[in-house]
Each structure stands twice: as structure tokens, then as C-alpha cells.
């Protein structure tokens, strides 16, 4: 078989496979915990980020630079909103607030089908959401000292792929 014929066959399969992949609806979730918060007053249920947390929030913006989010969700706490803010401002997206007690109801897969979503939550809510989206209990609560976990979950025609990156 000539090299020209082989190139045509390869191109045919490349374009054929690309068209199949492109016709599939991909929903991508990027889940992060809020950045470092002020721990000086243990009675304060709504602390702000400390300087280190503000730097981390700014770093998330850099990490997400080339991801074109359709929506950004955050709980209605100072630390999560402040973590989401740099990325939201960079993307020109308003942060939508969700109730962590109604996590799945407000972040329904159907509501966000085919979109790229960033969700900023807490050490005990982000792993729960990841597990719900995956359909298995894979992840436990995040240790209080960890703020750099990035859970990436893709749903392609009801097939779920997932990975956890630690960006500490």
C-alpha cells in the first residue's frame, strides 16, 4: 500500500473518530475547596481568607486560565466566595451561590449538561459532590491542612472519568 493511501486512511479515521467525539456531550466539573481561612477565632463561622489564602485564590485563577467555564458555583461563605472571585472576575462570570446542604439538588447534572463548571466548597462537601457525580464512594473528607486538591470529573454520554490532582 502506498504511503499516500495510508495517509488518506489515517486521515479518514482521524476525522471519523473526531466527529464521533465532537458529537458527544461532555460535562466537566472542577471541584476545589476554599483557600486558607483565618483560624484566629474558632467561634467565627464565616472567616475571611488570610494572605496565604488570597495568594492561593489568585493561583487558582492562573491554573484555570485556559479553561472556559460556563458557570462558577460557591457556597455563601466569605472564604469560598473569596476563593472563587479571582477566577470569576478573570472569566467575566458571576458566581452562583449554592446551599451545601442541598448540594446535589442545586448542581444537578441535567441543569449543567454539556458545560464546564467550577465548584468551590468545603473539606466535607467537595468530596461528597465528587462521589455523587462519580456514582461511587471514592473520596473522603479533605484534611484541614489541605487546600490544593483539584477534583476533575468528566461525564461523556453517562460515562464518568475522574482524577484528583494535589497542587500543594
Other Cβ atoms within 10 Å of 128 Cβ, number: 18
Beta bridge partners of 164: 151
**Residue 8: per-residue pLDDT:** 44
pLDDT in tens, 5-28: 444 445 444 544 444 455 578 999
Question: Could you tell me which of 130, 121, 118, 26 has the C-alpha nearest to residue 68?
Answer: 118
In a domain, 42, yes or no: yes
**Residue 2: per-residue pLDDT:** 47
In a domain, 161, yes or no: yes
In a domain, 151, yes or no: yes
CATH number for the domain spanning 145: value is 3.40.50.1240
Question: Could you tell me which of 104, 110, 105 has the C-alpha nearest to residue 130?
Answer: 104
In a domain, 19, yes or no: no
pLDDT in tens, 25-68: 899 999 999 999 999 999 999 999 999 999 999 999 999 999 99
Distances (CA, A) of 124 to 3, 4, 37, 140, 162: 57, 57, 15, 8, 18
Number of domains in the chain: 1
Domain residue limits at 88: 25-166
In a domain, 141, yes or no: yes
In a domain, 160, yes or no: yes
In a domain, 7, yes or no: no
Question: What are the two backbone dihedrals, phi and then psi, of residue 56, each rounded to the nearest 5 degrees?
Answer: -65, -45
**Residue 107: per-residue pLDDT:** 61
Amino acid at each position: 500500500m502506498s504511503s499516500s493511501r495510508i495517509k488518506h486512511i489515517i486521515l479518514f479515521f482521524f476525522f471519523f473518530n473526531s466527529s464521533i467525539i465532537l458529537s458527544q456531550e461532555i460535562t466537566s466539573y472542577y471541584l476545589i475547596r476554599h483557600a486558607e481561612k483565618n483560624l484566629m477565632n474558632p467561634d467565627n463561622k464565616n472567616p475571611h481568607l488570610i494572605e496565604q489564602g488570597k495568594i492561593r485564590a489568585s493561583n487558582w485563577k492562573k491554573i484555570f486560565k485556559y479553561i472556559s467555564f460556563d458557570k462558577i458555583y460557591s457556597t455563601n461563605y466569605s472564604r469560598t466566595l473569596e476563593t472563587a472571585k479571582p477566577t470569576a472576575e478573570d472569566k467575566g462570570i458571576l458566581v452562583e451561590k449554592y446551599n451545601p446542604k442541598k448540594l446535589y439538588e442545586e448542581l444537578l447534572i441535567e441543569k449543567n449538561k454539556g458545560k464546564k463548571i467550577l465548584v468551590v466548597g468545603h473539606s466535607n462537601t467537595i468530596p461528597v459532590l465528587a462521589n455523587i457525580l462519580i456514582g461511587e464512594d471514592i473520596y473522603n473528607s479533605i484534611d484541614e491542612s489541605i487546600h490544593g486538591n483539584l477534583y476533575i470529573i468528566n461525564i461523556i454520554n453517562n460515562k464518568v472519568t475522574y482524577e484528583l490532582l494535589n497542587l500543594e
